[in-house]
Structure 1
Amino acid sequence: MGSGTGEPVVRVRGLTKDFDGTTALAGVDLDVARGELLVLLGLSGSGKSTLLRCLNGLHRPTSGEVTVAGTRVDRASGRELRRLRTEVGFVFQQFNLVGRLTCLENVLIGGLGRVRGPRYGVTTYSRRMRDEALAHIDRVGLADHAYQRADTLSGGQQQRVAIARTLMQRPQLVLADEPVASLDPENSGAVMDLLVRVCAEEGLTVVCTLHQVDLALGWAHRLVGLRSGEKVLDRPAADLTRDDAMSIYRRVDPAAAEADAGATAPADTRAPAALA
């Protein structure tokens, strides 16, 4: 999956997001090229998930501009946001499958943006859509499980179904929020391999949040680090060492900073009040 060129699929300028007086994002600028796999790194609470949700309009920015696939998300109408979300796939940490439905039914849900009216059961979808969904299930290695309830699958298998459902949307952009956080290391690697491979084959743009630095360095084209809502790193993954990436996670300790400031400040030579 090579890095993309041309007009960026994602363009963010001066993005700020506040929640009840707490700043989650502070003046973030970001471009993501077509076909690029970008990984967001940072501590919990650094703003990674908030940034993803600003990209598909789940959060409205407090200020700044967000453009995704040619749509100004920050000022889009409800209709425009609904249309945009058919073009933006979202892979969640907890899979967000309907457990009582089969894998096939869950994947078909990804195509609802292309049909009119509700659908109840596999047979209410067209034969063409059923065949497309089965092809995606086969593509993620679960053809033998197509008619199995989703809640009977392992975590790694459920995330594969979620990826197939996202492909069923025919998206331009895939947002993945900690897609392997609930998986063991072996399944984490397998799911990331799959996500990278299918997105490369489809020419999709991916913005993914991860905590696993080694996975990020192994799969990403580019790493962007967030700390306290600010962008503190933006470099090609190939140019970074593990220590470079881990620097994103170094906390700023206010107590230590205050102690350092006190150690260099002029001494107060005034006598204590009790002795004056």
Structure 2
Amino acid sequence: MNQLVIGPHLSVAKGYAKAADEAAKLGATTFQFFTRNPRGGKAKALDPKDIERYRVRAQDQGIVCMLAHAPYTLNAAAAKPEVQDFARQTFADDLQRMETFPGSCYNFHPGSHVGQGADVGIQKIVSVLNDVLRPEQTTTVLLETMAGKGSEIGRTFQELASIIEGVELNDHMGVTLDTCHVWDAGYDIRDDLDGVLEEFDRIIGLGRLKAIHLNDSKNPCGSHKDRHECIGKGEIGFEALSAVTRHPALRHLPFYLETPQESLTGYAEEIAALRAIWQ
């Protein structure tokens, strides 16, 4: 990779072509988007003309590797049958829609076991994935590393590995590493990035790592709080986060900003600062 592939989270409510234009104006070379309202509901029908405009503009403007994000309400580990049914139906629908963009990735929060215990929650997540994954799909499904608040699953690399190991078609599975989440979960990426990546490689395998959510954290390491901060304004800091983008094991990956900005200008400033130091 001869350039830093980085971009913000953008809305596609006005179309994918519009989002590509916004990304390019910010100096981004990729972007993340929600497949539907992050709190759930039906997805807006895809517009073939907009998709074609997106493809042309993305190629012209150097936009690559866009990342789809599942709604937060998708809880494959849920205790309530109706919540699990929503997760299964939404997952299947989103994966079908993503085939409009062959070779893309679809990121989701593994889920919360809500008192059932992590082992039961993991079994339920595996069951949903085994129901919805198809051998012919081109989309890679990414488990996101989580901060461990409440009964979240995915707070440890071991939990993510257990899910992947249980999935029959796990060649379609990967991981998104969220810097705020792993920090809040207790992985010290500020002072021991090499050690964290060695542990990830030993338990999951760096070959599974497909994307990075690049976020600072409002809280100290191991707080299990999950509160994002702008790059350089939190506990992890600019130096450590820029080191993540430049690490030999990570620099080829796409990076997605989910920092709490008041306007899109903030994303442009973060992208410019991180790109200026990237070599």
User: TM class, shorter-chain normalised?
Assistant: 0.3 to 0.5
Larger Rg: 1
TM-score between both structures, scaled by the size of structure 1:
0.37
Higher relative contact order (CA 8 A, sep 6+): 1
- Higher strand residue share: 1
TM-score by length of 2: 0.37
